[in-house]
Amino acid sequence: CLERDDRCGQDFFVWKKGISGLLWGLAIVMVYSVLFGRTISGYETRVNKTVSVMAGEEAHFIVIDSGNGFFDAGKIGVSGALEKDINLAIALKLKADLESQGFHVRMTRENDVQLYDGMRPSDKKEDMQKRVSLMTDENCILAVSIHQNSYPDPSVFGTQVFYYTHSREGENAAKVVQEALQKVELQKNREIKANDTYYMLKKTEPPVLIVECGFLSNPEEEALLCEDAYQEKLAEGIANGILSYLQI
C-alpha cells in the first residue's frame, strides 16, 4: 500500500464507509427493538412455535376454555338455553377442528364440571385461577375462551371477539379470528373489543381471546346457537382464524 497511496486511500474510505453504515444499521435495529420489542418478540414467538404446536406431547399447544360449568350456568337464554352447555358444545367442536389440522390442544373442561370445590360465588376465583394456570404454561401459544353474550335489548345480536387492551398480539389475533368468522356466513359480526378488566385477559402472558359467539337474549340467535350445524360453523370460523393468525 505504500507504493499505491491513492488506491489505499480509496480502499480505506470504502471500508470506513461500510463500517459506518453497519454501525448505523445496528443502532437503528437497537432503537427499533427498544420501541417495538414486545411486538417483535411476539411475532418471532408466533413464527417459531407455529410448527412445534403440531409436533407432539411436549410441543406448544393451544388452550380452549369452555366458560362456566356445573352449577355455574352462565347466561340463560330467553327460551331457557344455558350458556355453559352451548360453550362446551362449541369448544368440543373447535377442539376437533384444530386437532384434525394437526394442532395440539388442551381443554380447561370437556364435560359439565366446575374447576373448584366450593359452592359459594366467592369460590369462583379458584375456578378462574385454574383456567389461567393452564394458559400461563410456557408451552401455551394461544388461548381461546368460548362464551355467550346477553343484553337488555333483545334486538342486539352477533359474534364479538375480546382481547387484552395492552396486548398487540392479542389484538392481531382478535382481528384475524373476527374476520374468519365473517367468512362463514354467520349472523352480524360485531367489531373486536379491547378490555383491561377481565381476569383471564389480565393474568395471562400468551394472547388470549374471549369469543362471545352470540346473544342468548336475542330469540333468533338463541335458537341458532342451539343448533348443531350453527355451532359447527362457529367452530370452523374460529379454527380458520387461529390457523391464519399462526401463519401470519
Give tens-digit pLDDT for 117-126.
666 655 678 8
Q: Is the pLDDT of residue 63 over 90?
A: yes
What is the pLDDT averaged over residues 142-170?
A: 96
Measuring CA to CA, which residue among 72, 144, 74, 54 is closest to residue 108?
144
pLDDT band at 232 (very low <50, low <70, confident <90, very high): very high
Going 128 to 167 to 165 to 160, the CA torsion angle's sign is: negative
Which span out of 27-36, 56-65, 174-183 was modeled with the highest average pLDDT? 174-183
The pLDDT of residue 118? 63
For residue 63, the cross-strand partners are 106, 143
Q: Which residue has the higher pLDDT, 41 or 217?
A: 217
Per-residue pLDDT at 245: 96
pLDDT at 77 over 80: yes
Counting residues of the chain whose pLDDT is more than 70, the rounded percentage is 72
Cα–Cα dist 209/108, whole Å: 14
d(CA 227, CA 47): 36
Average pLDDT, the chain: 82
Q: Which of 103, 195, 96, 89 is nearest to 147 (CA)?
A: 89
Question: 5-52 and 228-247 are packed helices; what angle lies between their axes, rounded to 10 degrees?
Answer: 160
Rounded to an integer, the average pLDDT of 184-188 is 72
SS3 70: coil
Question: Looking at residue 115, what is its pLDDT?
Answer: 77
C-alpha cell at 170: 392479542
The band of 12, judged by pLDDT with boundaries at 50, 70 and 90, is very low
Q: Scanning the structure block, which residue is given the C-alpha cell 391464519?
A: 244
Query: Has residue 16 got a pLDDT over 60?
Result: no
* Residue 41 binned pLDDT confidence (cut-offs 50, 70, 90): very low
Stated as kind and residue range, the H or E segment containing 211 is strand 208-215
pLDDT of residue 13: 45
At 124 the pLDDT is 78
Neighbours of 135 (CB within 10 A): 23
